């Protein structure tokens, strides 16, 4: 491992992505993205719908491959997903035919952990997420917020260093959303994992992130990359909070 | 969880139990409603049978009841209804099982791999609209009267010979063809309609193709595959009569029907038809019960 690897948790260097759709459609989703993320940063990728946020996250996660350029996560050149980096999706990521317990232990199951051991660890996680009484429920029996909690528990089950989150609270009602944001922050303040969090909500990004990257345009490029220098817990009614929001909104909306 | 105990559905349930009397009436009402048309039909049959007064054209209902209520009795010298049903059932289940064992894995491969789909589906689709009966001449030319007994080399004196000799390869092939496409089509459809977000989620955990197929594609497609297996069992059962009309056939409900026709026993023909219908209904109901037990997660919403 050379020094650069130790400094950055994630390195994205001049990465572009073109999709070739079903009917000969060609969409260039991202163009020449360069981005370094240091360990323990909470990076929010902010942009309006369709600007390539998910594409960038999927590239980092190794779910899709770039046209060119290079992506390194924790020193590994990414060609496919690695165990040290796990992902939380917006919705429909828990398998409906598995109980919550079997869903949360799936990642461990794929890693070859014995049934007893993985159930034990999944139970512990579900406990700490307040879902212990739902171990044997099926996902459709849970509320949206509980489902996302279970999805986060699953992502954390293998003890990853990096957490990717693709609009994880996007499908929740406003109240649950605020609660989940706070819970995530509390968790992150305790563990300080590297988090890359995709959102289209300016206010969510400013509430959560240590750093915000604004994506925009078609193909998507990096419009703005700023640190949020506010202490946690952040006050949404604070004037500085509002200042950050309005300058970021401007960056998002400029053509 | 407490809060959800008082959902509107629960209130409705409580209401229902208070008016249990009402529910019984409702069931009787529904049963009567379903019985009207069959009753009219039987009445019409009865009156026409008396009017025509010729059992070769339309036997009275009592004749059919007589045969059906004595299923162990030898009819027209070709064995009892029970025995013929039993032989038909073994044939169908055997041909059907082979069809399922081929069609399900094939469907999974075609549904999963675009390359396999391109290679195999156009070819298979070529055969799709050929009805199983149209295969009879070819199947006969290829398999003749070879039976499971011939293949296994079972001697004529062996006790299992009677059954095994009735399992003609040509018949099994026709039944196979009847079940194959419904199972294949449903399997392909089930695999192809897997929600992409499930695949992405499990892929992001580091699953390779094998884990994806066994942990996502197959479980997700199971209800659809099961529907295919259900439909396939129905169509296999329907091809039975055609299959048992083949030369060399000496038992089975299909054979019973064609043979009874040749000796002008229309009452036996109709009894054979009724037996086919009853067994078909039992198979369908049984598969339905199994399906509901296995796929609770599906029937209770997503
Ligand atoms: N698999 C795909 N095939 C074709 N086009 C795609 C695919 N995935 C994304 N795109 C296109 O790429 C662009 C960026 O998509 P995405 O990254 O999902 O945006 P966001 O997450 O910011 O809403 C969109 O125009 C979208 O239509
Ligand atoms: Mg997106």
Q: What is the rounded CA–CA span in Å between residue B201 and residue B214?
A: 14
Measure in Å the smallest separation between the Cα of B9 and chain A Cα atoms: 15
- Residue B14's pLDDT is 52
Instruction: Give SS3 for A218.
Output: coil
Q: Are A52 and A220 within 8 A, CB to CB?
A: yes
User: What does pTM read for this prediction?
Assistant: 0.84
CB-based contacts of B179, cutoff 8 Å, min separation 6: B95, B96, B99, B100, B103, B232, B233, B235, B236, B239
B195: which chain A residues are within 8 Å (Cβ-Cβ)? 92
B198 vs A86, A93, A109: nearest CB:
A93
Q: Give me chain A's average pLDDT, please.
A: 92
Read off φ and ψ for residue A165, nearest 5 degrees. Answer: -135, 120
B211: which chain A residues are within 8 Å (Cβ-Cβ)? 110
Q: What is the rounded CA–CA span in Å between residue A14 and residue A35?
A: 8
Query: Does the C-beta of A213 come closer than 6 Å to ligand 1?
Result: no
What is the pLDDT averaged over residues A30-43? 94
Architecture of domain B68-299: Orthogonal Bundle (1.10)
Tens digit of pLDDT at every position of chain B (302 positions): 444 444 444 455 555 555 566 888 888 888 999 999 999 999 999 999 999 888 888 999 988 998 889 888 888 888 888 988 988 999 999 999 999 999 999 999 999 999 999 999 999 999 988 988 888 889 888 988 788 888 888 888 888 887 788 788 888 999 999 999 999 999 999 999 999 999 999 999 999 999 999 999 999 999 999 999 999 999 999 888 778 877 777 888 999 998 898 898 999 999 999 999 999 999 999 988 888 888 766 655 44
Residue A85 lies in a domain: no
Asked if A143 reaches chain B (Cβ–Cβ under 8 Å), the answer is: no
Q: Are A202 and A248 within 8 A, CB to CB?
A: yes
Asked if A132 reaches chain B (Cβ–Cβ under 8 Å), the answer is: no
CA distances in angstroms from B199 to A101, A138, A142, B290, listed in the order given: 19, 18, 21, 27
B252: which 2 tokens?
A: 């089975």
Show me where the domains of chain B are located: 2-53, 68-299
Domain of A140?
Answer: 94-159
A and B: number of Cβ contacts within 8 A: 68
Q: Which of A19, A100, A110 to mutate to test the interface with B (most CBs of B within 10 A)?
A: A110
> Residue A89: closest CA among chain B residues belongs to which residue?
B201
What is the pLDDT averaged over residues A174-191? 92
B79: which 2 tokens?
A: 């064995």
Query: Does the C-beta of A54 come closer than 6 Å to ligand 1?
Result: yes
Query: Does the C-beta of A29 come closer than 6 Å to ligand 1?
Result: yes
Determine the distance separating the centroid of ligand 2 and the alpha carbon of A200, expressed in angstroms.
9
Total tally of structural domains belonging to chain A: 1
Complex ipTM > 0.95 = no
Q: Give me chain B's average pLDDT, please.
A: 86
Residue A40 lies in a domain: no
B241: which 2 tokens?
A: 């009569």
- Residue A48's pLDDT is 92
Angle between helices B136-143 and B169-192 (to 10 degrees): 120
Rg (CA), chain B: 25
> Residue A60: closest CA among chain B residues belongs to which residue?
B204
> What is the spatial order of strands in the sheet that A221-227 belongs to?
A85-88, A162-166, A194-199, A42-46, A211-216, A221-227
Q: Report the C-alpha dihedral over residues B11, B15, B18, B22, rounded to 10 degrees.
A: -150
- Residue B302's pLDDT is 43
pLDDT tens digits along B221-253:
999 999 999 999 999 998 887 788 777 778 889
């Amino acid at each position: 491992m050379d020094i650069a690897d130790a400094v950055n948790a994630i390195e994205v260097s001049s990465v572009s992505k073109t999709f070739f759709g079903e009917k000969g459609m060609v969409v260039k989703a991202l163009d020449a993205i360069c981005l370094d993320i240091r360990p323990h940063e909470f990076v929010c990728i902010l942009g309006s719908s369709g600007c390539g946020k998910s594409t960038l996250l999927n590239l980092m996660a190794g779910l899709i491959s770039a046209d060119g350029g290079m992506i390194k996560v924790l020193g590994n050149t990414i060609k496919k997903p690695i165990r040290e980096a796990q992902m939380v999706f917006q919705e429909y990521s828990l398998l409906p035919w598995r109980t919550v317990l079997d869903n949360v232990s799936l990642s461990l199951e794929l890693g070859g952990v014995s049934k007893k051991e993985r159930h034990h660890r999944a139970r512990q996680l579900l406990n700490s997420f307040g879902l212990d009484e739902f171990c044997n429920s099926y996902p459709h029996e849970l509320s949206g917020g509980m489902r996302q909690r279970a999805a986060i528990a699953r992502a954390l089950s293998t003890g990853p260093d990096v957490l990717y989150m693709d609009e994880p609270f996007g499908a929740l009602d406003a109240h649950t959303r605020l609660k989940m944001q706070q819970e995530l922050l509390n968790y992150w303040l305790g563990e300080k994992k590297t988090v890359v969090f995709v959102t289209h909500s300016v206010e969510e990004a400013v509430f959560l992130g240590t750093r915000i990257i604004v994506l925009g345009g078609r193909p998507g490029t990096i419009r703005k990359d700023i640190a949020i220098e506010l202490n946690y817990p952040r006050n949404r009614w604070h004037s500085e909070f509002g200042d950050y929001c309005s300058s970021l909104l401007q960056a998002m909306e400029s053509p | 969880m407490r809060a959800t105990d008082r959902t509107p559905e629960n209130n409705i349930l409580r209401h229902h139990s208070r008016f249990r009397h009402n529910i019984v009436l409702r069931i009787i009402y529904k049963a009567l409603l379903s019985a009207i048309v069959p009753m009219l039909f039987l009445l019409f049959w009865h009156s026409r049978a008396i009017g025509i007064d010729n059992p070769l054209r339309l036997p009275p209902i009592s004749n059919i009841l007589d045969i059906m209520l004595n299923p162990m009795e030898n009819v027209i010298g070709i064995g009892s209804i029970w025995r013929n049903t039993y032989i038909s059932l073994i044939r169908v289940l055997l041909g059907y099982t082979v069809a399922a064992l081929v069609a399900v894995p094939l469907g999974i491969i075609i549904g999963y791999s675009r390359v396999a789909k391109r290679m195999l589906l156009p070819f298979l689709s070529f055969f799709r609209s050929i009805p199983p009966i149209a295969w009879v001449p070819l199947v006969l030319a290829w398999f003749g009267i070879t039976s499971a007994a011939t293949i296994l080399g079972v001697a004529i004196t062996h006790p299992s010979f009677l059954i095994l000799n009735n399992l003609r390869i040509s018949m099994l092939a026709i039944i196979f063809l009847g079940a194959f496409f419904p199972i294949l089509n449903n399997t392909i459809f089930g695999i192809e309609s897997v929600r992409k977000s499930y695949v992405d989620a499990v892929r992001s955990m580091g699953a390779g193709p094998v884990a994806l197929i066994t942990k996502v594609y197959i479980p997700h497609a199971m209800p659809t595959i099961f529907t295919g297996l259900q439909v396939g069992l129905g169509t296999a059962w329907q091809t039975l009569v055609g299959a048992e009309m083949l030369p060399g056939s000496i038992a089975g409900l299909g054979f019973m029907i064609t043979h009874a026709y040749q000796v002008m026993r229309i009452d036996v023909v109709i009894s054979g038809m009724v037996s086919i219908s009853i067994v078909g209904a039992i198979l369908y109901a049984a598969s339905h019960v199994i399906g509901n037990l296995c796929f609770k997660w599906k029937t209770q919403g997503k």
